[in-house]
Amino acid sequence: MILYGLKNCDTCRKALKSLPNAQFRDVRADGVPADVLAKAHGQFGAALLNTRSTTWRGLDAAERVKDPLELLAAHPTLMKRPLIDNGGTLYLGWGKDVQAALT
C-alpha cells in the first residue's frame, strides 16, 4: 500500500498513523507516477484537484483551465490528499468510507 501526500498535512499524518504498513511518498519531493495520476483522474475526475488549496488560489484563470493532469504534474500540491494505492485500488481522501475500507 502506498500513500501519496504531504509530510506536513494533518490528514495524511492521520491516515499514515492508522495504516502502519503503508509506504509514504511525499508528492512535493517525489511526485506521483504518471500512470497512477492518469488512473486516479479517470476514477475521481475533477475531485482529484483540491480547489480549496492556497496553490489553487494562487493560479491565474489561464492556468486553472489547463488539463488537470498537466496542472498536477506542474503543481503536485494541488492533488487532494491522501491518494492511497492499495494494490491497484485507489482511494482519495481520508473520509469515513475510506477508513472503513482500509482499517
Q: Catalogue the active-site residues.
A: 9
The set of cell numbers assigned to 9 is 498535512
Terminal-residue alpha carbon distance, the chain: 12
Give 32-65 as a DSSP string: --HHHHHHHHHHHGGGGB-TTSHHHHTS-HHHHT
CA 18/CA 69 separation, integer angstroms: 29
Between strands 83-86 and 89-92, the pairing is antiparallel
